[in-house]
Amino acid sequence: MHRVILRDIALDEIFQLKYQLVRDGLIMDADFEWEYHPPVWDGFSQEQAKHVVFRFTDPALATFYQLKWA
């Protein structure tokens, strides 16, 4: 799987991107997967910003969407 990570993105934007992939003809759990990570702070280290990880089975798709969403 080839990852595309988008940091500090709002939840509604994440869902729009996910629906865009489906509209483009990709099938979730076959062509791509995604996971949301909320902001994390353990009280000692620096806060980890919220981010989403899209994983693509095809490296060409990962490159295409990384460039499109940049």
Q: What is the pLDDT of residues 29-70, one digit of tens each?
A: 999 999 999 988 877 776 788 999 999 999 999 999 999 998
pLDDT at residue 70, as a whole number:
87
C-alpha distance from residue 10 to each of 2, 15, 28, 30 (Å):
22, 9, 20, 25
28 found inside a domain:
yes
CB 7 within 8 A of CB 66: no
Q: Distance between alpha carbon 55 and the CA centroid of its chain, in Å?
A: 7
Phi, psi of 38 (to 5 degrees): -70, 165
18 found inside a domain:
yes
44 found inside a domain:
no
Q: Note down the domain range covering 22.
A: 2-39+49-69
64 found inside a domain:
yes
Q: Is the pLDDT of residue 4 over 80?
A: yes
8 found inside a domain:
yes
pTM of the model: 0.87
Q: How many domains does the chain have?
A: 1
Q: Is the pLDDT of residue 20 over 80?
A: yes
